[in-house]
Structure 1
Amino acid sequence: MNMRIKPAVLLLLTGLLPALPALAADTEALYQKHCAVCHGSERLGAMGPALLPENLGRLRKGEAGKVIADGRPATQMPAFASQLSAAEIEALQAYIYAPPAVSPRWDLAAIEASRIEHADVRKLPHKPSFAADPMNLFIVVESGDHHVSILDGDKLEPIHRFASRFALHGGPKFSPDGRFVYFASRDGWVTKYDIWNLTPVAEVRAGINTRNAAVSSDGKYVAIANYLPHSLVILDSDLKPVRILPVADKDGKKTSRVSAVYDAAPRKSFVAALKDVKEVWEISYDPKQPDIPVGMIHDFQYKEGAFIPGFLNPQRTSVDDYLDDFFFTQDYNDLMGASREAGRGQVINLDARRQVAELRLPGMPHLGSGITWAWQGRTVMATPNLNEGVVSVIDTATWENVRSIPTLGPGFFMRSHENSRYAWTDSMMSREHRDTLQVIDKEKLEVVAQLRPMPGKTLAHVEFTRDGRYVLASLWERKAAGGALIVYDAQTLQEVKRIPMDKPVGKYNLHNKITRSEGTSH
């Protein structure tokens, strides 16, 4: 994949902000000499990632200094230990963690100028270039060396592997026909990739710090949730900007980061949670809605000849507490969101646009990884917990907690399949038990097996094949340390094979995602 950026984009990156607060003139000079060519003169990113506090959240300051000194494997980041003193490296580390004087902007012009077109879809074959079932493929995100593998879910063998943008964030999203996959990186780069032809199609930078992306059920739009700037960006399927929605409360006084955005397919809308405002937004793309002229981002002047449904005025629902993530019921009429206050959650009805129930759950449930299944004639939802060793099982009709299933420790992911009697969860947030998967009997509501293939190695994020016959789990390690996908028989729970991978942080089956399987998060 071509990672070069147009000169026009580099020019945009260098003029968007006033001067940074003067930490030290010599430190800024060091940055401009050694770092700006790859990371942008205002730290907004270019060939390399943005170097702003929000973008460095997962990198501790001490680790950042090591990266400056020693470089980063599998990237173009060189080592500077031979060019810079320890004091200079320490000064640069402090410099990139210091906030800029003014919040960075990334406007419509910057988005449009950043777009890169790799291929003309109209000239590509409209059929898969391989023999595998195109709906039983897995997209495997390998963060160890920033690559993506496409895996045949029948033969359980890789078909293709390609370079990705740095630090993909959130799961990839698919077009309804399964031909295209969209990736969002933490630095705001959105990539459209043609799975059938095994080639990138287009890329655009939709923000500076991005949370995730969503694709509309009709395949026409892509929504991008941003931390920086405080915006929700709507792109068309070719990654051309349609509209930027500045995110603020109803009075326009307080702006907000966007925690997450998802497609609510039955409702023909995007639903977004806000990080800093107690609201949930619903943005319709239903073509039956009255046509609304597209306005420019600030003055709302009409853009001649362009009309789209719904994107002008999001429907707002006030909530009792901030929502960082949420879970949809299968009909998408209700969403369940975890409150920041431990032990509480909210159920929001999107038709009534209000809270209809309060959830009393232990610890901090990770509702975004919740799954559902039928149990004793009713639909239940199960969620892992980020703070406690428990899976909570909730009746989606009464919103009561019908069972708390003890696990070895706090977990992050949970998966099942309509054809499986089992649900799988990890304990990856536990230092002692991050190497063990637990298998829950969905009828008995109890753990019936524990799988620990490599003691001390993180084991997490499972996904089923299209038919539910096999389960793929990630050994969340670099390839040299044993990183791999472990394939289990979903009935016998026996290991079938291992497929070496470089820190496979996530794998996503096209059929399960596109059909919104009850056993996978949406």
Structure 2
Amino acid sequence: MPPLKPASLLVLLAGLFVAPFAAAQAQDAITTASPRTAAAAASDPAALFATHCASCHGASRTGGTGPALLPESLERLKKAEAVKVIGQGRPATQMLPFADRLSADQIKAVADWIYTPVVPTPTWSEADMAASRWLLPDADKLPAKPVFAADPLNVFLVVETGDHHVSVLDGDKLEPIHRFQSRYALHGGPKFTKDGRYVFFASRDGWVTKYDLWNLKVVGEIRAGLNTRNVAVSADGEWVMVANYLPRTLVLLSAKDLAVQRIYPVTDASGKQSSRVSAVYTAAPRHSFVVALKDVPEAWEIRYDKNAPEVWEGLVHDYRMREGNPLPGQFTPRRIKLDQVLDDFFFTQDYVNLLGASREATKGQVVNLDVRRKIADLDLSGMPHLGSGITFDWQGKRVMASPNLSSGKVTVIDTDTWKTVATIPTLGPGFFLRSHEKSPYAWVDSMMSPEGRDTLQVIDKRTLEVVAKLRPEPGKTLAHVEFDRYGKYVLASLWEQDGALIVFDAATLKEVKRIPMKKPVGKYNVFNKINLSEGTSH
């Protein structure tokens, strides 16, 4: 991974660890400012930013050596925290405190300003992407076997947002193997190649990082956008698709070297209305990427299989490969018109049907990818988090279950009739639901509930009832569980700055141990992810 170079005033907002000369560079930006600039900065937040921040974060706030400071990139950072960061800095980083040189009003003005849209809207071209790309020299000569003794399929990757690192955890010994620095605000979960060797991360501000898990090395990076939702990796391990909010594009990369293969401008069929991309996932059995659009009621399916059909309906653009033309049908979007836009979606285990919902809708919709149309409505009130859904067998039926971001409930749906068979009350709105093929239990959090954020609820998949409530740290947020490959252990995140992974015995529900972590959020088991476990998100 190339060294993350010095960042100025607002690098703390990104939480990046920077080179030792960062403080000196930030100081230079202050002392070399002209009197005219300094005078303007005293009252103008844009001038303050230009003086203290632009050298690293870009004149248009699109990022440089520091991350982008755009409303889309900062949506998870509360403005009060931004004010604190600017004034006080942060220990153990090169972020300077500015309370001794900027007034409280100036600090607040800068914080307010970075949450406003940039006009005109920033762009990010193929040339920009190419200029950002970095590859580890001789990465192809690294050993084709793990350099550690742990079972490579029972390894977890743990994203720690407290100091923006990722820990590699031995799932058998429940001990860390390695820890490395990540980009700011990883989002959408890491995606693995089928053998589990390579993993791809996406950050909120558009960086795609390729990591060699067997050799514990970052082997490549590219900035594919300015505000990115997530990435997907093809089942054959050859392609990476990047979903962007800003600019409104899909970007196809070669998984081997992260070279840009094509950029899809995301618009409706007329080409007039552009759209952000809600998410992209790989549908492995279909050899395709499936894409949901945020602002246009469409889903796209993009086949990467070389035997893709010659003609797909609904084509508007004649997309071409950057190097030679693909075979007919390959990499060509097929549009599926919908009743409503999709913010989130879930595949049935056979990948024939897509269950989707929008944040504003009162119902969800079932879309059959073979016939390319909606086939049923779903009774899903509130804000279902379908991307965190699971499937399992119940009373001879295959059912799907989803937590809810605005209501204290888990909804269980029959995937044959698409009817709701149960609504399970919880302690409040929750984000994550997880299980395992070998476990009779499903675990759900209520992390967005003031009263229930410290409690995990355990649901018996046979009775569809909550049978246990686990509250190991009263008053502290507990969320996002993941099973090991055998279904023996459950790892939960104590979502605090000085937090931990709390390990439970999946059968007895008793706590086994704690592993200290810096605000751990997601954790991802290699075996469960590459084998498309029914108990975790894909």
Q: Give the TM-score of the pair, scaled to structure 2.
A: 0.89
> Does structure 2 conserve the Cα–Cα contact (< 8 Å) formed by 1:173 and 1:215?
yes
Query: Residue 149 of structure 2 is aligned with which of 127, 131, 141?
Result: 131
> Does structure 1 conserve the Cα–Cα contact (< 8 Å) formed by 2:170 and 2:176?
yes
Q: 1:62 to 1:399 in 2, by over 3 A?
A: same
> Does structure 1 conserve the Cα–Cα contact (< 8 Å) formed by 2:302 and 2:333?
yes
Q: Secondary structure at the match of 1:507?
A: strand
Query: Residue 409 of structure 1 is aligned with which of 397, 412, 428?
Result: 428
Q: 1:57 to 1:116 in 2, by over 3 A?
A: same
Q: Secondary structure at the match of 2:152?
A: coil
Q: Please list, as runs of the form range in 1=range in 2, the aligned pairs for 1:201-280 lying within 5 A after superposition.
A: 201-237=219-255, 238-280=257-299
C-alpha offsets along residues 440-498 of structure 1, whole Å, 9 cap, x if unaligned?
Answer: 1111111111100000011110000101011111111112xxx1111111111111111
The answer to whether 1:317 aligns with 2:336 is yes
Q: 1:300 to 1:361 in 2, by over 3 A?
A: closer
Q: 1:438 to 1:258 in 2, by over 3 A?
A: same
> Does structure 2 conserve the Cα–Cα contact (< 8 Å) formed by 1:191 and 1:200?
yes
C-alpha offsets along residues 188-225 of structure 1, whole Å, 9 cap, x if unaligned?
Answer: 00100111111110000000000111100000001111
Match of 1:459 in 2: 478
Give 5+ residue unaligned stretches, structure 1: 7-21, 293-297
Q: CA deviation at 1:228?
A: 0.3
Distance 1:303 1:235 in 2: 11
Q: CA deviation at 1:422?
A: 0.6
Q: CA deviation at 1:86?
A: 2.1
Match of 2:36 in 1: none
Match of 2:535 in 1: 519
Match of 1:2 in 2: 2
Match of 2:121 in 1: 103
Distance 2:509 2:135 in 1: 45
Q: How many aligned residue pairs are there?
A: 499
Query: Residue 412 of structure 2 is aligned with which of 380, 383, 393?
Result: 393
Match of 1:9 in 2: none
The answer to whether 1:437 aligns with 2:438 is no
> Does structure 2 conserve the Cα–Cα contact (< 8 Å) formed by 1:3 and 1:47?
no
C-alpha offsets along residues 148-193 of structure 1, whole Å, 9 cap, x if unaligned?
Answer: 0000011111000011111111110001110011110001001001
Q: 1:474 to 1:320 in 2, by over 3 A?
A: same
Q: CA deviation at 1:30?
A: 2.1
Match of 1:505 in 2: 521
> Does structure 1 conserve the Cα–Cα contact (< 8 Å) formed by 2:261 and 2:322?
no
Distance 2:436 2:384 in 1: 21
Q: 1:74 to 1:521 in 2, by over 3 A?
A: farther
The answer to whether 1:424 aligns with 2:443 is yes
Distance 1:462 1:171 in 2: 14
Distance 2:327 2:449 in 1: 47
Match of 1:12 in 2: none
Distance 2:430 2:367 in 1: 25
2:2 maps to amino acid: N
Match of 2:355 in 1: 336
Q: Secondary structure at the match of 2:131?
A: helix
2:363 maps to amino acid: R
1:330 maps to amino acid: Q
Percent identity among equivalent residues? 66
Q: Please list, as runs of the form range in 1=range in 2, the aligned pairs for 1:464-479 lying within 5 A after superposition.
A: 464-479=483-498
Distance 2:426 2:510 in 1: 20
Match of 1:30 in 2: 48
Distance 2:54 2:62 in 1: 9
Match of 1:295 in 2: none
Query: Residue 92 of structure 1 is aligned with which of 106, 110, 115?
Result: 110
Distance 2:309 2:427 in 1: 52
1:397 maps to amino acid: D
Q: CA deviation at 1:310?
A: 4.5
> Does structure 2 conserve the Cα–Cα contact (< 8 Å) formed by 1:225 and 1:231?
yes
Q: Please list, as runs of the form range in 1=range in 2, the aligned pairs for 1:279-298 lying within 5 A after superposition.
A: 279-289=298-308
> Does structure 1 conserve the Cα–Cα contact (< 8 Å) formed by 2:41 and 2:47?
no
> Does structure 2 conserve the Cα–Cα contact (< 8 Å) formed by 1:243 and 1:311?
no
> Does structure 1 conserve the Cα–Cα contact (< 8 Å) formed by 2:206 and 2:228?
yes
C-alpha offsets along residues 72-131 of structure 1, whole Å, 9 cap, x if unaligned?
Answer: 456543221122122322332233222222211111111111001124222101110011
Match of 1:159 in 2: 177
Distance 1:28 1:330 in 2: 51
Distance 1:399 1:477 in 2: 38
C-alpha offsets along residues 406-463 of structure 1, whole Å, 9 cap, x if unaligned?
Answer: 1111111000000001111111111111000011111111111110000001111000
Match of 1:15 in 2: none
> Does structure 1 conserve the Cα–Cα contact (< 8 Å) formed by 2:168 and 2:176?
yes
Q: Secondary structure at the match of 1:135?
A: helix
Match of 2:57 in 1: 39
